[in-house]
Structure 1
């Protein structure tokens, strides 16, 4: 197969299949063995070495989706992030990280990197000039996230990638919110793409996984650390993830279309103070998002005005689930100050714009009118009971 000539949904469906040569089944068989032949074989397979048949072929699918040569599959998004950092950073090195990052990533950086004598700097903002200002002589890595969690800020991928290359620094991105359907950072010069595959790649709220995609050389470098940290994914879950990705293009496009409709509707709602979604023309990075995204994604956030108790509002929702995580086919909401950013201090949250009234909305595949009716009834119930 010539991958560059295949469309998104064809890649999702066919690339990275494990061919069932014995029984000619239509789907990949599962190889659950933890013990493989080691004599007279080209590949000595072992689950922790990321090279069982299901791991190997799923990595090919994710690499194809992200336009890279290679990929690795991990047990969680944080396993992927931590392995990435530790593979390229050592005592005395420095990393520049975007200030609008997922709270779990921020916590890992602050709590773990100092133990190893690794320095870090959070940028003052998410513009290229902010990254340039933070670079030091010992900087080895720049890590960005766009769109960011949960305020949907948009970073100029190509500009940051150029800056990194000019300085001889590796660049990496958390591409979870966009997914490969809506954004391919490798095409803009980024070196390494990371995903919490728990989210859109899995898409059904029943898988925990992570992924890194990059050139063959970079993935091999990461692999040498990954086999020591032991963050591989079980082959049964690998199989489930490969199955789920077959519908990735269809799911994410439907969710993205719904999110744009919901963002426009929410922005005109009398009880909504602010809506954060790059697909809105009033979003400060709308034009930038248009230039580097194929769609604006299915994640948005909105701030309820002070007449509505944010926690009571979520409890009144009937269809939309108040639930951790995101990106399933079902719509969900959370309060970031209690979940993704709970490990930050109140002062740290306010510094990056995370208020107690902020609701992160993962838009699913339901009918738009049903989602709107659910939000309206929850607002009315909360307003009347305040």
Structure 2
């Protein structure tokens, strides 16, 4: 099979599966062993070495989805992020990070880097010049996230990749919000692509995993660090992730459609102050999003009027779940100030524009009419505002 010519759903369904040579089953068998023979074998396998049959096969699938040479699977998104960063940073090095970041990544930077003698700078914005202004002679990594969590800012991937390459700097991107369905950063020159595979790759709110996709050379360097840090995950979870990836293309495209409809409707609502979604023409980076994304994703955020109690609104929902995490087949909402970005100080959240009334909305695959009806009834419950048409 020529993998360069097959489609997304075919990759999701067939690439990176473990063949059941004994019983000819239609799905991959699970190899749960933590102990493998080491004499007279082509590969000396061990779970912490990320090379069990299920781990290795799933890496092939994710690499092909992200247009890279290789990929590794980790126990969580933060495991993937931290292992990749620590593989390319040492005492005396400097890293430039995007201002708008997932709270866990931000917390890792501000609580851990100094312990290892690593200096860091956050940009004042997310334009290419904001990154260029923070570069130093010892800068080794530029780290971006686009669309960002939770404000859906859009960073120019190609411009950042060119900037990094011109200075001999490694570029990394958190591609979780987009997923490989909507965005392939390597096509724009990025070196290393990171995912919380818990999200769109898993897609069913029942596993925790992370992924890194890059060239063989970069993956080898990450592997050398990772076998020391021990961030591997069980093969049962690897198997579940492979199962989930089979439907990722179908799920994400339906979530894209729903998010576009709902963002457009929320933008017109009297109870909503502002909507953040790159698919809207009103988004300041809409044209850039069109250039580098194939779809605008299933994530959006919106601010209720300050007179509306956001917590009461979430409690009034009946279909949409007020729940942690994101990207499941079910629609969920949360307040970033109490969850994903709670580890940040109030001042730092304010600097990023994350307000107390900001709601992050992970759109599911339900009929959009049903999702909309639930939003309407929740607003009606807590206010007398006009509902959506």
Q: TM-score, normalization: structure 2? A: 0.98
Question: Partner of 1:82 in structure 2?
Answer: 82
Question: Partner of 1:203 in structure 2?
Answer: 203
Question: Partner of 1:232 in structure 2?
Answer: 232
Distance 1:177 1:284 in 2: 18
Q: Deviations over 1:279-305 (max 9, x none)?
A: 000100000000000000000000001
Distance 2:360 2:4 in 1: 35
Is the counterpart of residue 141 in structure 1 residue 141 in structure 2? yes
Distance 2:41 2:91 in 1: 38
Give the deviation of 1:88 after TM superposition: 0.6
CA contact (8 A) 1:174 1:195 kept: yes
* Number of residues of Structure 1 aligned to a counterpart in Structure 2: 385
Give the deviation of 1:307 after TM superposition: 2.8
Question: Partner of 1:29 in structure 2?
Answer: 29
Is the counterpart of residue 298 in structure 1 residue 304 in structure 2? no
Question: Partner of 1:158 in structure 2?
Answer: 158
Gaps of 5+ in 1: none
Distance 1:240 1:195 in 2: 16
CA contact (8 A) 1:183 1:293 kept: yes
Give the deviation of 1:384 after TM superposition: 5.2
CA contact (8 A) 1:36 1:45 kept: yes
CA contact (8 A) 1:271 1:307 kept: no
Distance 2:207 2:4 in 1: 28
The 5-angstrom pairing of residues 212-223 of structure 1 reads 212-223=212-223
Question: Partner of 1:126 in structure 2?
Answer: 126
Question: Partner of 1:94 in structure 2?
Answer: 94
Gaps of 5+ in 2: none
**Root-mean-square deviation over aligned CA pairs:** 0.8
* Residue aligned with 2:4, SS: helix
Distance 2:279 2:367 in 1: 19
Is the counterpart of residue 268 in structure 1 residue 268 in structure 2? yes
Distance 2:64 2:208 in 1: 21
* Residue aligned with 2:133, SS: helix
Question: Partner of 1:381 in structure 2?
Answer: 381
CA contact (8 A) 1:78 1:105 kept: yes
The 5-angstrom pairing of residues 1-386 of structure 1 reads 1-383=1-383
CA contact (8 A) 1:193 1:212 kept: yes
Distance 1:3 1:189 in 2: 21
* Residue aligned with 1:303, SS: strand
CA contact (8 A) 1:9 1:249 kept: yes
